[in-house]
Structure 1
């Protein structure tokens, strides 16, 4: 029995190409990787923004389509995902600042490491918020979600009910494996901006999770019991 859908095969194929090309460029010419492949407003960064925005659109679609058939906590959970991924996509491209040529306010010029209108590059004291929250803390949350959550979901009914009630998509094991394999390949890349590829990989894997979670019944009209 094939565990992958056709769309998942395509998604993982594209992800593999992006990560492997990034690793090759990082090993052969890390300067080219940093300046071109993973540069600000480059293909990798735009790919990440598109993936995050796609999850936002998918979550919004679920919220609108199932609004009349779902309970309040399901709506709340889905709404939080809508807000979260819209925020993440906006942050990734500095809310379109460079696209529309919008100047940063004095606050962001003085307190943002890149002088841009976004929160993840703000500097508090001498530390970037990106390092504290959007890297270290986020990595811990992702580790718990991608590795611990599927174990709890399969083992404890109370956790399964909780996840279904708040519309939390649960990863399949191939999502977890993809995360671990990607982590290894990105870690092997010596380029300084290699984590841009990691962010794109996260976006792609999360899109596949939201598209076809283990508990896919949460996106069906009938309320899961």
Structure 2
């Protein structure tokens, strides 16, 4: 496709391979899928953290390079997104707790489903925050951002101007298609560990969006 850059093609080939092997292992060797392919602190989890971190750094670099020529709303938007993705990267690896072998405080041991220092596994009144906020709310946001917003951006100047003012990158249709395909392929993997691959797809696709959005002019002086 002419709309795909070389980076897009490499990223999508990577995702095809990751999900292809994932479907194969999930249906032929579930133990390998759970304990090796998608294991805690495995390539999928660390890969997601790295991709989210790269997205945040890209946003911060653009902020520092362009902030002198941009308005306050643009600065708020790009800094806010950078902080969100940096937070996501930290949460993905529990802020390096397992890497540096840091013990959790008593509060997190008692109130975190995995006894780790992170927010997405916290339990409040017997309910995991991850299920309520990081799953249900995030799903709603992704549907609005990846499917509804692109239509509105193309149709209404008010939405277009608002998104551009806050430096919100608008997805191209191949980004949306990639996300929908990644979502659909999950049904072929009968393991809860499949969500590690979904998060990896999230990291890949959002980095592609930030690199080359439909409204790439928001990153020019």
Q: TM-score range by the shorter chain?
A: over 0.9
Match of 1:179 in 2: 179
Q: Is the counterpart of residue 42 in structure 1 residue 42 in structure 2?
A: yes
Q: Find the counterpart in structure 2 of residue 198 from structure 1.
A: 198
Q: Report the secondary structure of 1:121's partner residue.
A: coil
Residue 7 of structure 2 is aligned to residue 19 of structure 1 = no
Q: What is the aligned partner in structure 1 of residue 219 from structure 2? A: 219
Structure 2 residue 81 is the aligned partner of structure 1 residue 89: no
CA contact (8 A) 1:23 1:188 kept: yes
Matches of 2:214 and 2:192, distance apart in 1: 35
Query: 1:126: which partner in 2?
Result: 126
Partner of 2:9: 9
Which stretch of structure 1 is more off in the superposition, 1-10 or 191-200?
1-10
User: How high is the TM-score relative to the length of structure 2?
Assistant: 0.98
Give the structure 2 partner of residue 103 of structure 1.
103
Structural RMSD (CA): 0.9
Mapped partners of 1:220, 1:24: distance in 2: 43
CA distance in 2, matches of 1:38, 1:141: 25
Asked whether the 8 Å contact 1:31–1:191 carries over to 2, the reply is: no
Could you tell me how far 1:16 is from its partner in structure 2? 1.2
Q: In 2, are the aligned partners of 1:186 and 1:194 still within 8 Å (CA)?
A: yes
3-state DSSP class of the match of 2:119? coil
Q: How far apart are 1:208 and its partner, in Å? A: 0.3
Scaled by the length of structure 1, what TM-score is found?
A: 0.96
Which residue does the alignment assign to 1:71?
71
Deviations 1:39-63 (A, max 9, x none): 1101110111011001011001110
CA shift digits 1:31-88 (9 cap, x unpaired): 2111111111011101110110010110011101101011100000001011100100
Counterpart of 2:170 in structure 1 is 170
- The aligned length equals 221
Shift, 1:186, TM fit: 1.6
User: What secondary structure is seen at the aligned counterpart in 1 of 2:99?
Assistant: helix
Q: CA deviation at 1:187?
A: 2.2
Structure 2, unaligned runs of 5 or more = none
| Greater alpha carbon shift after TM alignment, 154-163 vs 21-30 | 21-30
